[in-house]
Amino acid sequence: IIQVFGNLLDNAIKYMGNQTDPIISVTCEEGSETNTFLIRDNGSGMDKNAIEKLFTPFKRFHSGVKGTGLGLYMIKKIVDSHGGTILAESEGKEKGTTFKLIFPKSEIKALADKDITAEVELQVSI
């Protein structure tokens, strides 16, 4: 999950475009069964065609930025493997992008418990 957030934040920075006042925000909305994380930026944005193909492997939409076209594909695979959903929204080019990550609360709790256990084991073995 850390890789998912890292890649999305890295993309938000890389695709900021010519923005003179760059803004990236991360928020969490707690629901009864899910937690929804929103990663928003005011960068280069995307058209509907790009959003429809966004999670396709090797698909790239910006030739001026280095990349393999695998980042968002891998992010989707990771999110799916945790029972989550990832969605992208943009009102068009130069209008920013919002990525929405939705995870079941049970999965978030399991991940938190796992991370705590790993930290405790690491501390004991040192």
Residue 121 in this model has a pLDDT that exceeds 90: no
Give the model's pLDDT for residue 114: 64
Q: 93 in helix, strand or coil?
A: coil
Higher pLDDT, 51 or 18: 51
The Cα 74–Cα 88 span in angstroms is 15
Average pLDDT of the chain, as a whole number: 85
pLDDT digits (tens, 9 = 90+) for 37-72: 999 999 989 999 999 999 999 887 766 777 778 999
Q: Is the pTM of this model over 0.85?
A: no
Give the model's pLDDT for residue 17: 77
User: Which domains are assigned to the chain?
Assistant: 2-125 (3.30.565.10)
Handedness of CA 41, 42, 45, 48 (dihedral sign): positive
pLDDT digits (tens, 9 = 90+) for 73-99: 999 999 999 999 999 999 998 899 999
